[in-house]
Structure 1
């Protein structure tokens, strides 16, 4: 069994495959221009990569670790966030500057539906735990779009802070966590009321949120303060359970993409401007090592093979 990190190197148009156990890059392949975000199917057979400045989606065969198809569309304009729903039969993609959502059939890897959000700079796509709802943060509109997966249509929008980009749902399904990069805040939004139950200050320019597999921690990379906020979702304060920042872990310059290994014992953070990956021990909440990759690593995913 081999565990890999799939690391997108934005400024050299490549993907690094890092053997986690060896702690080194073992393969690199070329992509279309500016690979940005990545998702792996649950069966581990395919990887999808948005190439934002190439206006394409690269499809990777994970057995060969090679690109086997390139998806294009005339309305792709900086395709960015993406995720899988309906037992991985559908891939949703947000195109930032065209402000549209694309639905792709993963059996044929063909686009089957396109619709606009009518919001500014629709950037990421994040599912609820049951994958029946999708949330799209709109950087330019300071809000989040809600999509009904079954109906394949937008059901509404709700306001958040300035410049929302990072977004993830808590594992218990109660909250949407939103990182607002322009006012350095975290909003913890109740999924029933679509209003924040909690607001927290974090580091300078928070741009992603990723939960540990057990849901206990949310990691938020803060681009300009060069650290990662650790949010304990079950912190006890005055007899109540509240989400709370319990630590900021200093790492490399411009931290961005985040992912975990399968057990959640280790987190990985891409440092955009030091061209390396920080390995974080989730038991001690300390950086334990760094691995060199390509130029401006950002989007990452975990892949287990064998």
Structure 2
């Protein structure tokens, strides 16, 4: 088994396949215009690439690392966030400027459903751990849209901070963490009551948020302060348990996409303006290395073959 990173170079219209053993780019592949976000199928066989300014969704065969199909639609207007259900059968895509959600069958690679969020700038896709619910941050509406996966219908909207972008459900399925890029904080929300339980200060302009597999840490990529905030989700201090930023790790310029390996031992951060990937050791919480990639890397995904 070999470990790779799929890195999107958004201002080069390419994708870098990084071999993590040699810590080098083993292949560079042309994509449609302005690739932004990426997801690998659960079986590792295919990669989906949302090309935002090209208004296309590219599909790559991971056995050959070649683009095998491109999906288009009139309402692909800055297609961006993508993620796949736990059973691997459906891909959900958020189109930012049309504020519509697309549901794609991953076996046929055909669009099966399209529906609006009725909000402004629906940007990312984040599933609950059981894949029953999708959470979509709406950047200009300052809220989150909740979608039932089985019925493929919007069931709720709830307010958060200004400019929400990074969003993820804690592995326990009970808490939603939302990175508000205009407020420089992370909100922790109870998914039963929608109550904001905590606000955690982070770096300047947090744009991505991911959890370690064990749920001990949430990481935010802070674009304007060029660092990664490490939030310990249950810090025990003075008889109080709370989520708290315990470290801010300097990385390259304009930190963007974050991926974590399956063991939870390393995080990989795409640095848009230094054209490289930071490797963070999640035991020491230190940057250990950098890997050069293409121009303005952003979307990133971990792959094992």
- TM category (shorter chain) comes to over 0.9
Q: d(CA) in 2 for partners of 1:233 and 1:185?
A: 14
Q: Residue 194 of structure 1: CA displacement?
A: 1.1
Output the CA distance in 2 between the equivalents of 1:200 and 1:219: 12
Separation in 2 of the partners of 1:125 and 1:150? 16
Paired residues in the alignment total: 305
- How many Å separate the matches in 2 of 1:238 and 1:42? 42
**Matched residue SS, 1:165:** strand
Cα separation, 2, equivalents of 1:15 and 1:299: 10
- What does residue 81 of structure 1 align with? 81
Deviation at 1:52, TM superposition (A): 0.3
- CA drift at 1:86: 5.5
| Partner Cα distance (2:280, 2:173) in 1 | 26
Spell out, residue by residue over 1:174-207, the C-alpha distance to the aligned partner (whole angstroms, 9 max, x if none).
1110000011111001110112100111110000
Q: CA deviation at 1:265?
A: 0.7
Q: How far apart are residue 60 of structure 1 and its match?
A: 0.7
1:161-240 correspondence runs (5 A): 161-240=161-240
Q: Determine the C-alpha separation between the residues in 1 that align with 2:241 and 2:41.
A: 34
Distance 1:206 1:86 in 2: 26
Distance in 2 of aligned mates of 1:236 and 1:271:
32
CA–CA separation in structure 2 for the residues paired with 1:234 and 1:189: 14
Kept in 1: contact 2:46–2:59 (CA 8 A): yes
Q: Deviations over 1:69-115 (max 9, x none)?
A: 00000110000001111511111000000000001111110101100
Report what 2:260 is aligned to: 260
Mapping 1:52-71, distance limit 5 Å: 52-71=52-71
Q: Which residue matches 1:287?
A: 287
The one-character-per-residue Cα deviations of 1:239-264 (angstroms, maximum 9, x if unpaired) are 23211100000111000000011211
- The 2-side partners of 1:195 and 1:11 are apart by 39
SS in 1 for 2:11: helix
1:149 aligns with 2:130: no
Secondary structure at 2:257 match in 1: strand
Does residue 23 of structure 2 align to residue 51 of structure 1?
no
| CA displacement at 1:215 relative to structure 2 | 1.3
Q: Write the distance in 2 (CA, Å) between the matches of 1:23 and 1:86.
A: 29
1:26 aligns with 2:45: no
CA distance in 2, matches of 1:270, 1:22: 18
Rounded to whole Å, the distance in 2 between the matches of 1:49 and 1:216 is 29
For 2:35, the equivalent position in structure 1 comes to 35
Give secondary structure in 2 for the equivalent of 1:129: coil
TM-score normalized by the length of structure 1: 0.99
Counterpart-to-counterpart distance in 1, 2:100 and 2:123: 10
Structure 1 stretches of 4+ with a deviation exceeding 4 A read: none
